[in-house]
Amino acid sequence: MSESVNSQLFAGFRAPKEIVFGAGQRRSLPKILNGLGTRVFFCIDPVMASHPDVERLVEDVAANGTDVQKFTEISPELPMQDIAAAVSAAEKHSTEVVVAIGGGSSIDMAKLVSCLLTHPGDVRQYFGEFAVPGPILPIVAIPTTAGTGSEVTPVAVMTDSDNGVKAGVSSPYLIPAVALCDPELTLTCPPSVTAASGADALTHCIESYTAIRRENKPDLLSSRVAIGQSALTSSLALEGVQAISEGLLDAYRNPDDLDARSRVMYGALLGGLAFGTAGNAVAHALQYPVGASTHTPHGVGTGLLMPYVMEYNQQARVPEYAKIAKIVGRAIIEDEVLADEVSEEYRALILASDAEANTSREQEQLAAAAPRLVQQFLSEIKIPSDLSQIGFDPATIGTAAEKGVASKRLCDNNPVPLDVPGAHSILTAAMKGQLSGS
């Protein structure tokens, strides 16, 4: 660290006022709410609503002298037209605080409910960055997937089915007051949800770790929600890659493995903290049109696309990709199923003490291998490795490339500029399943 503490050092960070992480910590909710309000509106994932731990939690909050109202009509990927019913129920309840229990879709619903209760109107007027006019009701976010990091981020994403796109509200006011992360709540996630949400978390870590570096200007944080890579977010993002690499394969194969679940949820939290300030980039921009046309979960698309976007960005981020290759590569080498898939040559490079110990030529070799290693890792949890496997129509590549590039907020954050031909080339490689690196 001492080498990097110099006049070039820059860091920016936004986060909830309180973050609590640990098995069993959900039980701290009644006490947490004491300081926030007595009329509580719960946005609860429909699957989790009948989970005994969740039922008990709501009962405990009610027994603490709090007026509770539950809302559970929340669909995956959060269709925009479902938001109004939740806002109206929350309004009738004279809500003072909103609690989300669920995956990204439920947490994002809570953010939008809280926003629209405080600033009534059409949600579309808040699309984009900094459009929310002021503070919103406090939110306590309790994730039940290990993925989106929405419990700490300034973003709420919804599906605009009329236009076939994902749309986002991005404002520091949306950051929950409290993130309460209890990995025991993820034990019931089926492998498909563990895989999609875990792949998304890994993508958040990689995209924020390798995002653009902007000039250290005084108005950087006030003019952008996603400011690009900086010291605080980079260290969290890399730690997130580590935690997810250590836990995701076991969490997928053995759903009851609480230790593995904890590592992945911790990695997802770190990914959220990192991208919440740094921002995501092109894997997310291209997932939006791909997800809308194939109706596949967000994390399946981001995980599938990430290796191809890494290949596109590779020359601009050699030391970063070398580090990622070493962490993900080590997880592959140490895994009993995947161990033999790494050649002797790469095994030696990956296991050398740290990335700085590799020569610049070796770093280039590692960086070139990074997309393939990430793809191998994600293939083991059945994330498809090409777009044909999720039914993407090759005739729509041109439209998807245009829609992806139109997500300017995300594309501006990429370390390499993206134009429509660039997006076309990434999608074409992803269609053919062609990664050139070894």
Ligand X SMILES: NC(=O)c1ccc[n+]([C@@H]2O[C@H](COP(=O)([O-])OP(=O)(O)OC[C@H]3O[C@@H](n4cnc5c(N)ncnc54)[C@H](O)[C@@H]3O)[C@@H](O)[C@H]2O)c1
Give the binding site for Fe ion (CB under 5 A). Answer: 200
Cβ at position 360, least distance to ligand X in Å: 35
Using the rule CB under 6 A, give the single segment among 9-17, 184-192, 249-257, 405-413 that binds ligand X.
184-192
111-132 burial, b at 16+ Cβ within 10 Å, e below that, comes to: bbbbbbbebeeebeebeebeeb
Q: Which is nearer to ligand X, 149 or 267 (CB)?
A: 149
**Beta carbons of 435 and 311 less than 8 angstroms apart:** yes
Identity of the residue, 186 or 296, whose beta carbon is nearer to ligand X in the bound complex: 186
* Closest CB 204 distance from Fe ion, rounded Å: 6
- Closest distance to ligand X from the beta carbon of 205 (Å): 12
Partner whose binding site includes residue 113, from Fe ion, ligand X, none (CB under 5 to 8 Å by kind): none
User: What residue 285 binds from ligand X, Fe ion, none (CB within 5 to 8 A, per partner kind)?
Assistant: none
Give whichever of 166 and 317 is closer to Fe ion, judged by the CB atom. 166
State the SS3 of the chain.
CHHHCCCCCCCCCCCCCEEEECCCHHHHHHHHHHCCCCEEEEEECCCHHHCHHHHHHHHHHHHCCCEEEEECCCCCCCEHHHHHHHHHHHHHCCCCEEEEEECHHHHHHHHHHHHHHHCCCCHHHHCEECCCCCCCCCEEEEECCCCCCCCCCCEEEEEECCCCEEEEEECHHHCCCEEEECHHHHCCCCHHHHHHHHHHHHHHHHHHHCCCCCCCCCCHHHHCCCCCCCHHHHHHHHHHHHHHHHHHHHHHHCCCCHHHHHHHHHHHHHHHHHHHHHCCCHHHHHHHHHHHHHCCCHHHHHHHHHHHHHHHHHHHCHHHHHHHHHHHHHHHHCCCCCHHHCCHHHHHHHHCCCHHHCCHHHHHHHHHHHHHHHHHHHHCCCCCCCHHHHCCCHHHHHHHHHHHHHCHHHHCCCCCCCCHHHHHHHHHHHHHCCCCCC
Q: Interface mask (CB under 6 A) for ligand X, residues 292-311, using x and -? A: ------xx------------
- Whose Cβ is closer to ligand X: residue 209's or residue 346's? 209
Residue 403 contact partner, candidates ligand X, Fe ion, none, CB within 5 to 8 A by sort of partner? none
Number of residues that bind ligand X (CB under 6 A): 34
Task: Give the amino acid at 212.
Answer: I
Choose the contact partner of 144 out of Fe ion, ligand X, none; CB within 5 to 8 A by kind: ligand X
Closest distance of CB 158 from ligand X, Å: 7
Task: Give the residue with the Cβ less far from ligand X, 15 or 196.
Answer: 196
Closest approach of ligand X to the CB of residue 153, in Å? 4
Q: Which is nearer to ligand X, 368 or 400 (CB)?
A: 400
274 contributes a contact to ligand X by CB under 6 A: no
Side-chain half-sphere exposure of 219, counting CA atoms within 13 A: 1
Interacting positions 93-152 with ligand X (CB under 6 A): 102-106, 108, 144-145, 147-150
- Partner in contact with 171, chosen from Fe ion, ligand X, none, beta carbon below 5 to 8 Å by kind: none
* Shortest CB 353 distance to ligand X, Å: 34
- The item of ligand X, Fe ion, none sharing an interface with residue 98, based on CB under 5 to 8 Å by kind, is none
**263 vs 372 by CB, closer to ligand X:** 263
195 binds ligand X (CB under 6 A): no
Identify which of residues 128 and 319 has a Cβ nearer to Fe ion in the complex.
128
Q: Nearest to Fe ion by Cβ — which residue? A: 200
Answer yes or no whether residue 211 interacts with ligand X by CB under 6 A.
no
Q: Catalog residues that contact ligand X under the rule CB under 6 A.
A: 45-48, 76-78, 102-106, 108, 144-145, 147-150, 153, 155-157, 166, 185-186, 188-189, 193, 196-197, 200, 298-299
